[in-house]
């Protein structure tokens, strides 16, 4: 049997701690050869000169080894483009930093990807919201010195004193009549530099060219152009001398209309265009960007002589003026009060006042506050993203505390470490910003579709230089914020601590852990505040869209019809036409029911009439009420419940029937809770006959679903110049708009009809602002929840990774997996609970900013609060679940060996 020589005794090992430290620092490819060489020499020295000398020599070797030089040499050796430049140039340091950062990113692909995603989410939200804010709020109006522009309203004190909010609003901003406008314009003491009027709430009229997109026109006085102070880009603007009875009919085109309808042909000046019943001479084209009064208007025309010559009754003008130098809105208001008093302005025979208001504030309305809330919200989201990035960097930097400590021990200054960290952060944040900005640019059009049509100035919304600059600024701020904390910990770690740590496996410092958890609690707090806001708005929106309107809006198509005055006065002709058009529309397939009426809900304005009524205790009192003229069958068609008495009887002579119907709010206002049927009212000023109340119907919400039904008096008859043909359809109402309108227009040659609409569309428009606010805030809150989820996940999984050895020991000592999992889950839920507590406190404190947006929801709404609490707990639990499962699956043996 051959004998084998026994293995020689293994040589004495070098100091374990020093070798382990060096092993971590060396580039992987060099570890074996380098440490092996040192071992050989160590063994030889140990044999020749003893243990102490060998150990001292080994320590010197470790301390004087330059791992960074080795890593660089190694890197250069394997890089495809071998660079022979020696370090030293100003760019070399930076390039080295970038390379080091890229290496570090490659080593930690998941946290790096999460950082990029986080920044991208925040940047996309910020860019979108800021694009909207910039376009709507910040971009200057396209007029000279826009801050000098004011709206000048007539005030109807009778109407302004009514309970109904819609009436009150109308009374405080009543339109002018042509005589009132003329009286003020010609007043010697008019305190305005310039003054003009335009057709306000009346429908735009369109040309009859059905082949092309119709042109929308609005009438303006010559003074409007003077007020706006924008010169024509082509041709000229109307002169004041032309703006008189018998003056020429002129038209000024906006730039987009000129481009789209006239191909940008400059020969259009001097040409005639036909709009509605009238022909206008085109005299000028406005510069690009100009719009007035809204971007929907394509042509600004002069008023007709008929409009200029109207007597007292027609209140259809909106007036604007330019402040005089040195006069503010308040001073102008006082001076205008004086003008109105001297001119003896009245509305009908009632009193009248005047209101001067900043035009910008009036145009933007509550949109400005809503967008400000959204801007604050998006800044919170950006800060949350910074916190997340900080946390992720912190987790990585604590994992490399020994690494940083050794760099310092080897002479790397704190400045150099900070620079390295900053470069790395900037790289990640820049990548995220790029992705986010690209996503925002791509998603901008889709988001614009979400904007309410009534949102002013939305055509100004675009991705532009200011938005890009903002994006860049946010990126830089986030990068600096995200770098400060990790760099502070990196620069602070002392070499001695790192050496200690190397003995027992690397631990992240307790201070860093505390900072991380605190940041995540702040993050959850922010998410709770945003979710709470979103939940309140969502609840409010649901309330608003499910509020009973008092009638059935489904499937209703409405065609407004304008008739000639001579036709409207001919009662018999109107009755005949009504019956005919009703039959013709009812014969259309898909139409279930038809009514022709002087009023439909959500059609726009409210008529107002003065009435006298018999009081309960006797005597007569007069007030102003909103009134509507409707036909028999109207209430049945609308499905308005009858509360007392009866509806108007079909057929029969309206004059002979002589009754009126009141709605519940009006009955309550006039006669309290008692029965209203049989009581009497009369319109006019005491000359008309008394009319008996024949029925009481429920109130309808007719303009804004958020406002309770207003008092209303219903009379039977024909409304005069305006009718509505309303059809209840069986299928989709939208597809029936064209056939119903065509049938109506074919029923008589002298009818005009602007676009048909559906009640459901009008309702959607009326709730567009809340929908916009809610959707945007909910999206931001969703982003915030995701960021909080990532934050909790990052912290808990990092803590589990750090405590792997401890968990292994516990499990080796008999702790079971379920308990470990519960403990880790509890850690995540504890962070969530802390954040929820603080978040609800802050949400309660800040809720007043959105109270104005809430409809029938309290800021302390328990449903909203409960859903937020459950959501956040679920998010925190979900975020902690994966790390908890990983912790429970730790193999004790493996965990201990790994160290």
Does 10 bind other proteins (CB under 8 A)? Our answer is yes
- Interacting residue with other proteins among 1, 6, 52, 77 (CB under 8 A): 77
> Tokens 């074919």 appear where?
746
688-727 positions binding other proteins, by CB under 8 A: none
| CA distance linking residue 831 with residue 560, whole number of Å | 60
- Whether residue 680 contacts residue 658, with contact meaning beta carbons closer than 8 Å, is answered with no
**What's the closest the beta carbon of residue 54 comes to other proteins, in angstroms?**
14
**What's the closest the beta carbon of residue 96 comes to other proteins, in angstroms?**
15
Does 70 bind other proteins (CB under 8 A)? Our answer is yes
| 43 versus 462: smaller Cβ distance to other proteins | 43
81-110 positions binding other proteins, by CB under 8 A: 82, 84, 86
Run of H or E including 688: none
| CA distance linking residue 212 with residue 207, whole number of Å | 10
| CA distance linking residue 221 with residue 237, whole number of Å | 11
**What's the closest the beta carbon of residue 417 comes to other proteins, in angstroms?**
21
**What's the closest the beta carbon of residue 67 comes to other proteins, in angstroms?**
8
Cα–Cα distances in angstroms (integers) from residue 285 to residues 266, 280, 302, 813, in the given order: 9, 14, 14, 87
Does 73 bind other proteins (CB under 8 A)? Our answer is yes
CA 458 centroid distance within chain: 12
Helix, coil or strand: residue 682:
strand
Distant-in-sequence, close-in-space partners of 392: CB < 8 Å, separation ≥ 6: 111, 114, 115, 118, 794
| 27 versus 721: smaller Cβ distance to other proteins | 27
DSSP state of 268: G
| 14 versus 135: smaller Cβ distance to other proteins | 14
| 76 versus 615: smaller Cβ distance to other proteins | 76
Helix, coil or strand: residue 33:
helix
**What's the closest the beta carbon of residue 36 comes to other proteins, in angstroms?**
3
| 73 versus 866: smaller Cβ distance to other proteins | 73
Q: Which stretch binds other proteins (CB under 8 A): 63-71, 258-266, 746-754, 842-850?
A: 63-71
| 193 versus 412: smaller Cβ distance to other proteins | 412
Cα–Cα distances in angstroms (integers) from residue 330 to residues 168, 333, 368, 697, in the given order: 22, 5, 22, 44
Distant-in-sequence, close-in-space partners of 334: CB < 8 Å, separation ≥ 6: none
| 83 versus 186: smaller Cβ distance to other proteins | 83
Does 11 bind other proteins (CB under 8 A)? Our answer is yes
The two structure tokens encoding residue 12: 């004495």
Does 64 bind other proteins (CB under 8 A)? Our answer is yes
- Interacting residue with other proteins among 15, 17, 65, 830 (CB under 8 A): 65
Number of residues that bind other proteins (CB under 8 A): 32
**What's the closest the beta carbon of residue 40 comes to other proteins, in angstroms?**
5
| 20 versus 620: smaller Cβ distance to other proteins | 20
- Whether residue 62 contacts residue 22, with contact meaning beta carbons closer than 8 Å, is answered with yes
Distant-in-sequence, close-in-space partners of 165: CB < 8 Å, separation ≥ 6: 707, 710
| 403 versus 578: smaller Cβ distance to other proteins | 403
Q: Which stretch binds other proteins (CB under 8 A): 10-18, 150-158, 639-647, 671-679?
A: 10-18
Q: Which stretch binds other proteins (CB under 8 A): 74-82, 357-365, 493-501, 638-646?
A: 74-82
| CA distance linking residue 524 with residue 387, whole number of Å | 11
Residues paired with 323 in a beta bridge: 192
3-state DSSP of 296-349: CCCEEECCCHHHHCCCCCCEEEEEEEEECCCCCHHHHHHHHHHHHHHHCCEECC
| 73 versus 494: smaller Cβ distance to other proteins | 73
**What's the closest the beta carbon of residue 817 comes to other proteins, in angstroms?**
35
CA 446 centroid distance within chain: 13
- Could you report how far apart the first and last alpha carbons of the chain are, in Å? 43
**What's the closest the beta carbon of residue 2 comes to other proteins, in angstroms?**
21
**What's the closest the beta carbon of residue 894 comes to other proteins, in angstroms?**
20
27-46 positions binding other proteins, by CB under 8 A: 30-41, 43
Q: Which stretch binds other proteins (CB under 8 A): 61-69, 91-99, 560-568, 645-653?
A: 61-69
| 78 versus 818: smaller Cβ distance to other proteins | 78
| CA distance linking residue 616 with residue 239, whole number of Å | 58
CB atoms within 10 A of CB 98: 15
| 72 versus 416: smaller Cβ distance to other proteins | 72
Using CB under 8 A, list all residues that contact other proteins.
7, 10-11, 13, 30-41, 43, 60-61, 64-67, 69-70, 73-74, 76-77, 82, 84, 86
């Amino acid at each position: 049997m051959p004998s084998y020589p026994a293995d020689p005794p293994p040589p004495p090992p070098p100091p374990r701690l020093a070798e382990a430290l060096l092993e971590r620092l060396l580039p992987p490819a060099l570890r074996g050869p380098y440490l092996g060489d040192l071992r050989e020499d160590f063994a030889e020295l140990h044999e020749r000169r003893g243990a102490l000398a060998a150990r001292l020599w080994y320590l010197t070797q470790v301390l004087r080894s330059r791992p960074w030089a080795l890593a660089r040499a190694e890197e250069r050796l394997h890089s495809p483009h071998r660079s022979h430049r020696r370090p030293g140039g100003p760019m070399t340091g930076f390039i080295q930093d970038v390379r080091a950062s890229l290496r570090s990113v490659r080593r930690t692909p998941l946290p790096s990807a999460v950082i990029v995603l986080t920044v991208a989410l925040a940047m996309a939200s910020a860019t979108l919201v800021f694009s909207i804010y910039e376009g709507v709020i910040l971009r200057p109006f396209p007029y000279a010195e826009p801050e000098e522009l004011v709206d000048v309203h007539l005030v109807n004190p009778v109407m302004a004193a009514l309970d109904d909010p819609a009436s009150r609003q109308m009374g405080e901003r009543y339109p002018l009549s042509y005589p009132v406008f003329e009286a003020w314009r010609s007043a010697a003491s008019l305190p305005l530099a310039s003054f003009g009027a335009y057709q306000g709430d009346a429908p735009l009229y369109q040309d009859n060219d059905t082949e092309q997109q119709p042109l929308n026109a609005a009438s303006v006085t010559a003074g409007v152009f003077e007020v706006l102070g924008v010169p024509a880009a082509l041709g000229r603007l109307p002169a004041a001398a032309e703006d008189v009875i018998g003056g020429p009919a002129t038209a000024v085109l906006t730039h987009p209309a000129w481009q789209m309808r006239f191909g940008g042909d400059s020969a259009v000046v001097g040409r005639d265009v036909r709009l509605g019943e009238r022909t206008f001479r085109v005299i000028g084209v406005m510069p690009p960007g100009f719009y007035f009064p809204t971007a929907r208007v394509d042509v600004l025309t002069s008023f007709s002589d008929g409009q200029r010559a109207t007597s007292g009754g027609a209140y259809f003008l909106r007036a604007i003026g330019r402040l005089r130098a040195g006069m503010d809105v308040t001073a102008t208001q006082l001076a205008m009060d004086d003008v109105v008093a001297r001119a003896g302005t009245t509305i009908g025979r009632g009193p009248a006042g005047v209101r001067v208001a900043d035009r910008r504030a009036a145009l933007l309305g509550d949109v400005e506050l809503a967008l400000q809330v959204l801007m604050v919200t998006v800044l919170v989201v950006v800060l949350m993203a910074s916190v997340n990035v900080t946390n992720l960097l912190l987790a990585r930097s604590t994992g490399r505390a020994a690494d940083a400590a050794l760099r310092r021990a080897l002479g790397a200054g704190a400045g150099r470490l900070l620079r390295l960290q900053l470069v790395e952060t900037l790289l990640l944040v820049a990548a995220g910003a790029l992705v986010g900005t690209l996503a925002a640019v791509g998603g901008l059009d889709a988001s614009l579709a979400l904007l309410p049509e009534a949102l002013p100035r939305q055509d100004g919304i675009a991705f532009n230089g200011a938005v890009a600059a903002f994006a860049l600024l946010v990126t830089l701020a986030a990068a600096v914020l995200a770098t400060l904390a990790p760099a502070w910990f990196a620069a602070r770690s002392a070499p001695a601590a790192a050496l200690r740590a190397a003995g027992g496996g690397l631990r992240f410092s307790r201070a860093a852990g505390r900072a991380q958890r605190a940041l995540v609690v702040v993050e959850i707090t922010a998410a709770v505040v945003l979710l709470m806001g979103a939940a309140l708005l969502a609840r409010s929106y649901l309330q608003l869209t499910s509020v009973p309107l008092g009638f059935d809006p489904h499937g209703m198509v409405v065609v407004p019809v304008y008739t000639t005055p001579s036709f409207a006065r001919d009662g018999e002709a109107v009755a005949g036409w009504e019956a005919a058009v009703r039959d013709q529309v009812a014969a259309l397939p898909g139409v279930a029911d038809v009514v022709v009426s002087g009023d439909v809900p959500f059609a726009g304005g409210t008529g107002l009439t003065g009435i006298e009524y018999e009081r309960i205790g006797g005597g007569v009192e007069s007030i102003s009420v909103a009134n509507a003229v409707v036909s028999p069958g109207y209430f049945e068609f609308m499905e308005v419940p009858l509360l007392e008495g009866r509806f108007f009887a079909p057929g029969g002579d309206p004059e002979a029937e002589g009754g009126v119907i009141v709605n519940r709010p009006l009955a309550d206002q006039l006669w309290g809770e008692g029965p209203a049927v049989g009581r009497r009212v009369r319109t006019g000023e005491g000359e008309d006959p008394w009319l008996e109340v024949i029925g009481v119907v429920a109130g309808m919400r007719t303009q804004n679903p958020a406002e309770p039904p207003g008092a209303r008096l219903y009379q039977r008859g024909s409304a005069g110049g305006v009718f509505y043909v309303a059809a209840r359809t069986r299928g989709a109402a939208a597809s029936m708009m064209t056939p119903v309108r065509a049938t109506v227009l074919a029923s008589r040659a002298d009818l005009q009809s602007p676009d048909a609409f559906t009640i459901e569309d009008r309702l959607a428009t009326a709730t567009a602002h809340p929908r916009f606010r809610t959707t945007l805030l909910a999206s931001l809150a969703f982003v915030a929840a995701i960021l909080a989820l990532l934050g909790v996940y990052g912290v808990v999984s990092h803590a589990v990774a750090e405590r792997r050895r401890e968990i292994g020991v516990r499990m080796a000592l008999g702790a079971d997996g379920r308990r470990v999992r519960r403990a880790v889950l509890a850690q995540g839920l504890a962070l969530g609970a802390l954040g929820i507590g603080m978040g609800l406190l802050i949400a309660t404190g800040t809720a007043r900013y959105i109270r104005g947006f809430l409809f029938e929801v309290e800021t302390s709404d328990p449903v909203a609060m409960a859903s937020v609490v459950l959501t956040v707990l679920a998010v925190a639990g979900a975020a902690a679940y994966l790390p908890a499962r990983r912790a429970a699956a730790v193999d004790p043996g493996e965990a201990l060996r790994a160290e």
